[in-house]
Structure 1
Amino acid sequence: MVTVRYICPRCDAVVELDRDAYLADKSVTPDPLDGWEYAPAYEVFEDADGVELVCGASETCGEGCGRPFYLSFVRFEGGEEVKPHTGLAEPPRFEFLD
């Protein structure tokens, strides 16, 4: 086990998490990634796609904002890394006036 520190993306508070070193971090985001399953930090999360951290909970160094944020691990399916869905149904279109 190693202790890894993460910074809340909303208030910059530091959160410490004890976890296995083999887990590969993908991102820390204020919102969960589409398709990822998250486990609470106080449960076994090695089989989850990530961890839901609550800023200000017992893992937080000092005070926090009290809002959840998400640590996502790298996922593979069929030997390929899974890319998270961006949430955009179609790319944005721009129209420029002359």
Structure 2
Amino acid sequence: MTLTVRYTCPTCGAVTSVERAPSLADRSVTMTAQPGWEYAEPGDDDLESADGIAFICGEDGPVTDLEGEAIEGCGRPFYLNFVRYERGVELEPNPPTYGGPRFDFDA
């Protein structure tokens, strides 16, 4: 079973849709890829094995504005990041995609 999920380009606000399993948990949409994460393309059959989806705005299929009218995308990449787990523990993105800058002062 799949469902259609819509994502908004953080650069231009264009909306793109992707078919995917409802069991995948979204963490964030970012303008840059998370270091070390593996990204699938929107049409890949095995999205469950990826850490997220890499989009190219307007090149991965039709895009619309928020009202559903067809528009052209900006052509810039953006990334859907899934929630990731390692040995049952949720992994934080590096750098984190929320909460502002992170500083580690352990010396």
Q: Give the TM-score taking structure 1 as reference length.
A: 0.83
Q: Does 1:91 align with 2:92?
A: no
**Aligned equivalent of 1:60:** 63
Q: Residues 41-71 of structure 1, C-alpha deviation per residue, up to 9 Å, x if partnerless?
A: 1222221010001101214232110111100
Aligned residues: 91
**Aligned equivalent of 1:74:** 83
Partner amino acid, structure 1, of 2:48: E
- Which runs of 5 or more structure 1 residues have no equivalent in the other structure? 94-98
CA positional deviation for 1:9: 0.5
**Aligned equivalent of 2:19:** 18
Partner amino acid, structure 2, of 1:32: A
Spell out structure 1 runs of 4+ moving beyond 3 A. none
Between the aligned residues of both structures, percent identity stands at 47
**Aligned equivalent of 2:48:** 46
Farther off after superposition, 9-18 or 55-64 = 55-64
- Quote the RMSD (CA, aligned, Å): 2.0
**Aligned equivalent of 1:27:** 28
